[in-house]
Amino acid sequence: MENITKWRPKHKYRKLTDQEKSKKRDKYGIIAVGNSIPSIISSFRSMRLPKAFRKALKSEKIKKPLPLQRQGIPIALLGRDALIISISREGKTLIFCLPLIIASIQEQLRLPFSENEGPLGLIIVPSRELANQIFTFLKDFLHNLKGYPKISICLCVGGISMQDQLETLQKGVHIVISTPGRLSDLLNKNKINLKLLRILVLDEADRLLDLGFDEEVRTVLSHTSFNMQIILSSSTLPKRMQEFASNFMKSPVYISSSRSEIKKLQITHICEIVTNEGKLLKLLESLMKTEPPILVFCENKTENDSLQEFLSQRKIECASLHGGKMQNLRSKAINDFNKGYIKVLIATDMAAKGLSFEKVKHVINFDLPKDIDAYMQRVCRGSKKVHVTSFITYKNDKRFLKDLAEFVEEIGGEMPEFIQEIRGEVESKCEFCSIRGHKKFSCSLLQMEMLKSELPLQR
């Protein structure tokens, strides 16, 4: 595959043996699977990023790469197909944005884009909120990047005027960030041409598949050339994802981490045993325990709206966030919450996935999530020092509570005694291989299954 960025690591990294590379990965808790995997590089300067790029990163308060970025950025800059298994706070957005920016600059210097040309890079995400978050990051980074030609980016999502998006596309665009629905509309109306596409990113790819966007993604691929870099990011690795990688990606590298970033979080876990009838009263009590902003998670849209009505009647400034809301209301809820106009945001897992609220110091699980992966995603929505309050009823699955206890123990926290007692009642079972005694995040069979071949596993 052609390396569109023309980047290559310094000689001292290229000459490292596989054993030396593995030791560096072990140091940072990185797992990498694939052929000819480049070395971890521990600084942006050592990655040979120009000074202007490093200054732009500092403007975004990014001074040094996170562990996953130290492996992921070299892989992405080399033009390799990659599948990034990542929870929040591990910096996956920068991993796929850097090659998009560098490739766009090089192409613009070589032959400037004219009308109706592009995009060179396409990022597909499952929600408008996540699309806007990535668009904002790219816009701010490019604004701070001095001394390079202007790079055009376009946000293509539903809920806002398509005409404005069409005008941007008609001027020529380097990078498009889009949701599947709006992208399908543009393709069906021949308003976007993907023949020049060289880098395709599917962010939150597991959720794209969960929401049934398989066909939309395949339609996009049918409009592109074969010689294209594909980068997938996902918080989980279902078999459908592995099949997709096997069918559409060329010698991909799979990378993941051993939760090095989540272990740095200072989490206080509070578990309250409640009845269904007593949850609302307990919610009011919990909201009084910390300063706002506070993020509340519930199971579905109906309960989400009911909680908003309940809190609003009690003069608590709040908003709800779920997929059934109009886009303008969802955007307003996020904006008002980030600016402090409202104190409480009530969200479903689907609506909040991929979003970050760094000022939040209290996360309340009004309903427990379906599994420990979803719990981790919720925890990572807030600040690095966060209280997590979970309401537990007698209907909750003991196996999940046991997983929760094991997770908290793994990252160095404490759990209430009654949950610790549950651990002895339920035997561990891996959700992937069904073998008892370990969980899927430590399953060696899962790591090997990622390859679907006999490539060596590198750590």
DSSP one-letter string for 109-146: HHS---TT---SEEEE-S-HHHHHHHHHHHHHHHHH--
* pLDDT (mean) for 2-7: 77
Distance between CA atoms of 141 and 146, rounded to whole angstroms?
10
Q: What is the pLDDT of residue 173?
A: 97
Q: Which of 173-177, 182-186, 392-396 has the lowest mean pLDDT?
A: 392-396
pLDDT in tens, 370-422: 877 788 888 888 887 888 899 988 777 677 787 777 777 766 666 666 666 66
Residue 437: the pLDDT is 46
* Residue 200: CB atoms within 10 Å: 23
Q: Mutual orientation of helices 92-110 and 67-77 as an angle, nearest 10°? A: 30
> Do 233 and 202 meet the contact criterion of CB atoms below 8 Å apart?
yes
For residue 347 the two structure tokens come to 């969200």
Least confidently predicted of 9-13, 170-174, 241-245, 292-296: 241-245
Is 432's pLDDT higher than 70? no
Give the per-residue pLDDT at 183.
93
pLDDT at 340 over 70: yes
SS3 334: helix
> Is residue 327 over pLDDT 90?
no
**pLDDT of 457 over the 60 cut:** no
Task: Tell me the pLDDT band of 307, cut-offs 50, 70 and 90.
Answer: very high
pLDDT in tens, 121-174: 999 999 888 999 999 999 999 999 999 999 999 999 987 889 999 999 999 999
325 — pLDDT class (breaks 50, 70, 90): confident
pLDDT for the residue 315: 94
Cβ neighbours of residue 205 closer than 8 Å, sequence gap 6 or more? 232, 233, 234, 241, 244
- Tell me which residue of 114, 32, 16 sits closest to 72, measured CA to CA: 32
Please give the mean pLDDT across all residues of the chain: 85
CB burial string 376-392: b at 16+ within 10 A, e below: bbbbbbbbeebbbbbbb
Span 351-368, mean pLDDT? 85
pLDDT at position 444 over 60:
no
- The reported pLDDT for the residue numbered 308 is 95
pTM beyond 0.75: yes
Dist. CA 427–CA 181, nearest whole Å = 43
The C-alpha atoms of residue 35 and residue 73 are separated, in whole angstroms, by: 16
Instruction: Give residue 452's pLDDT band: very low, low, confident or very high (50, 70, 90).
Output: very low
pLDDT score of 63 more than 90 = yes
- 8-state DSSP, 250: S
Q: What percent of the chain has pLDDT over 70?
A: 86
- What is the secondary structure of 29-93 as a DSSP string? TEEEESSSPPPP--STTTTT--HHHHHHHHHTT--S--HHHHHHHHHHHTT--EEEE--TTS-HH
Band of the pLDDT at 458, cuts 50, 70, 90?
A: very low
- Picking from 33-37, 63-67, 84-88, 93-97, which range would have the lowest pLDDT averaged per residue? 84-88
pLDDT band at 53 (very low <50, low <70, confident <90, very high): very high
Residue 37: predicted pLDDT: 95
The label of the residue with tokens 């055009």 reads: 152
Confidence at residue 421, expressed as pLDDT on a 0 to 100 scale? 67
pLDDT at 96 over 90: yes
Question: With 60 as the cut, is the pLDDT of residue 85 above it?
Answer: yes
29-38, 72-81, 412-421 — which one is most confidently predicted on average? 72-81
What is the reported pLDDT for 72? 97
| Burial status of residue 305 (CB atoms within 10 A of its CB: 0-12, 13-18, 19 or more) | middle
Cα separation of 357 and 333, whole Å? 12
Contact between residue 204 and residue 235 where contact means Cβ atoms under 8 Å apart = yes
Residue 268, burial from CB neighbour count under 10 angstroms (0-12, 13-18, 19+): middle
| Amino acid at position 228, single letter | M
> Any idea what DSSP says for residue 170?
H
CB atoms inside a 10 Å sphere around CB 166:
16
Confidence of residue 29 (pLDDT cuts 50, 70, 90): confident
Higher pLDDT, 331 or 266: 331
Q: Where are the domains positioned within the chain?
A: 11-257, 265-422
> Which architecture does CATH list for 11-257?
3-Layer(aba) Sandwich (3.40)
Helices 162-170 and 180-188: angle between axes, nearest 10 degrees: 60
Sheet of strand 30-33, all strands in order from the earlier edge strand to the far edge: 153-156, 175-178, 121-124, 199-202, 229-234, 82-85, 253-257, 30-33, 457-458
- Kindly give, in sequence order, each residue whose CB lies less than 8 Å from that of residue 94, ignoring residues fewer than 6 positions away: 62, 65, 69, 73
Q: Strands 30-33 and 457-458: what pairing?
A: antiparallel
Q: In what order do the strands lie in the sheet with 266-273?
A: 266-273, 385-392, 362-365, 294-297, 344-347, 318-321
**Segment among 169-178, 192-201, 257-266, 351-360 with least mean pLDDT:** 257-266
CATH class for domain 265-422? alpha beta
Average pLDDT over residues 249-260: 83
Query: What are residue 42's phi and psi, to 5 degrees?
Result: -90, -5
pLDDT at residue 18, rounded to an integer? 93
* Residue 425 predicted with pLDDT over 60: no
Task: Provide mean pLDDT across the span 250-269.
Answer: 78
pLDDT at 186 over 90: yes
142: which residues sit within 8 A by CB, 6+ positions away? Answer: 56, 101, 150, 151, 153
Same fold, 11-257 and 265-422: yes
Q: Per mean pLDDT, which range of 61-75, 80-94, 98-112, 427-441 is the poorest?
A: 427-441
Q: Cβ–Cβ contacts within 10 Å for residue 199, how many?
A: 23
